[in-house]
Amino acid sequence: MWQKIYLWLDERLGLKEMYTGILDRPEPKGNWWNTLGSASLFLFILQAVTGIFLTVYYTPSPDHAYDSIQYIMTGVAFGWLVRGVHHWGATLMVLVVFIHLLRVFVTASYKYPRELTWLVGVGLFLMTLGMGFTGYLLPWNQKAFWATTVATQIAGSVPYLGDFILKVLRGGSDLSALTLQRFFAAHIWILPAILTGLIFVHLFLIIKHGESHFPQKED
C-alpha cells in the first residue's frame, strides 16, 4: 500500500531525483562552523512561526500595541514563551548570521564560483538587520519609541535626501500611528518576503556549487 503511494508520488514529483539532488550530495569534510548557515535558516523559520502566532493577538496601533503585548505576556496561554522566543530569537539570529558572514569571510568562501552566493548573503544580512530595526518599534514602549526616533533622525541626516527618507520612514514629520503601521508592514510582509526569496536563491546556489571546503595550504 505505502509502496504504491510512494511510487505514485515519485512518478509525479520525482522524489528520487530530489533525494539525489538535494540530500545525497557529496560535500567536503565539514565541522561545526559549517552549521551556522543552517542555524540561520532554522532561526528564520522559528521567527516566522512565533511571529505568525504573535500577529494573532498583536494590534499595530499606538493605542493598543502596548496593551496587546501585555495581554500576550499575561493573558494568553504560553504567550510569554512565544514572545520570549521571538525576542531572544531576534538577538540570536543577528548574532548567528553575523558569525556566519565572518566565517565565510575568513575561509574566503566568497571567491569563484560563489561570488553571487556572497552577494545574496550580504543582502540577507542587511535584511536581518532591517527585521531587527523594524521589530524593535512594535512593542511601542518607551525604549522602542525613543530608539526609533533617534534612528530615523540619523537616517534623516543624509545630505539632500535626508528629509525625504525621514518622511518615508516615519510617514510624516513625527513618529505616529503611521510609522507603527509602516514598520509593522515592513516587519511582517515586505522584509520577510524579500528574505524568503533571497533564502531560496541562496540555497539554490549552495546546492549548485556545493559547500566550499576549508582552505588548505595549496588553496
Partner 1 sequence: MNDESKNKIKERYHQVIQRGERFWPDSIFKDAIMALAIFVILILLATFIGVASEPKADPSDMSYVPRPEWYFLFLFKFLAIYGQIPLLGKIEWIATVIVPSIAIILLVLMPFLDKSPNRYYSKRIMPLSIMGVLVTSMVSLTLMADVPTGTSLPGILQTIGGLVIPGLAYILILLLAFFFKKAPATCMAWTAVAAGVLMVGFTVAVLFLAPAPVTAETVVANTVIEKIQAGQDLYAVNCVECHGEDGKVTKIEGVKGLEGKEIPAINNNDVLYTLDDASIGEVIAYGRPIAGMNPFGKAFNPEGLSKSEIDYIVTFMRYMWDDRFEKPVLKPLYPPLAAGEVPSYDVHIAPIFNRYCVSCHRKGKDNNNFWVTSYDEILKTGDNAPNVIAGDANSPLLTLISGTPIMDPADPTKELAGKMPPNNNLKPDIVAVIKAWIMAGMPQTADDAAKLTPVPVPTATPKP
As measured in angstroms, the least distance from the Cβ of 88 to partner 1 is 4
As measured in angstroms, the least distance from the Cβ of 216 to partner 1 is 7
As measured in angstroms, the least distance from the Cβ of 128 to partner 1 is 10
Nearer to partner 1, 1 or 56 (CB): 56
- CA 65 – CA 116 distance, rounded (Å): 40
What's the longest Cα–Cα distance across the chain? 69
Nearer to partner 1, 8 or 75 (CB): 75
Nearer to partner 1, 8 or 204 (CB): 204
Backbone angles phi, psi at 108, to 5 degrees: 55, 40
Measured in Å, how far apart are the chain's first and last C-alpha atoms?
Answer: 52
- CA 98 – CA 135 distance, rounded (Å): 18
Nearer to partner 1, 53 or 140 (CB): 140
Would you call the peptide bond into 113 cis, given omega within 30 degrees of 0 as the criterion?
yes
Nearer to partner 1, 56 or 81 (CB): 81
Which long-range CB contacts under 8 A does 46-51 form with residues at least 24 apart? 46/85, 46/89, 47/86, 47/89, 47/90, 47/93, 47/131, 48/192, 50/82, 50/83, 50/85, 50/86, 50/89, 51/86, 51/188, 51/192
As measured in angstroms, the least distance from the Cβ of 4 to partner 1 is 25
As measured in angstroms, the least distance from the Cβ of 189 to partner 1 is 21
